[in-house]
Amino acid sequence: MSDKFKALVLNQEGENFTKEVKELDKSFLKHGDVTVKVDYSSLNYKDALILKNGARLVKEFPHIPGIDFSGTVVESKNQKFKEGDEIILTGWRVGEIYFGGYSQYAKVNGEFLVKKT
């Protein structure tokens, strides 16, 4: 995994809400024990609300949205997953409380993942 990647980053300072694609360092990813190279992410109703103005669903900024995604494990400290595993993630408040899939890479709790078979 490269040390740099791109992600859609939301930020809010007072009433000023912004959305911007930024280049980030992998140290920005702060949650979880499995790092995934994101291949696909969807746009659902909650994502649309969050992208409009945070919709009071996002509690901490800056934030990477994207509630659902699929991809390939690139690093894992979870016994259930190894590098190369293909995964799917839906829900678990990812994209709301935890950084989500509108990013080239996501780092999440392995318990949130389902292995693609």
- 3-state class (DSSP) for residue 100: coil
Residue 53: predicted pLDDT = 85
Structure tokens at 62: 């800056």
pLDDT digits (tens, 9 = 90+) for 79-99: 999 999 999 999 999 999 999
pTM of the model: 0.94
- Binned at pLDDT 50, 70 and 90, residue 1 comes out as low
CATH for 23? 3.90.180.10
pLDDT digits (tens, 9 = 90+) for 59-73: 899 999 999 999 999
The number of distinct structural domains making up the chain is 1
**76, burial (CB in 10 Å: exposed 0-12, middle 13-18, buried 19+):** buried
Range of the domain at 92: 4-115
DSSP states of 45-80: HHHHHHHHH-TTT--SSSB---SEEEEEEEEE-STT
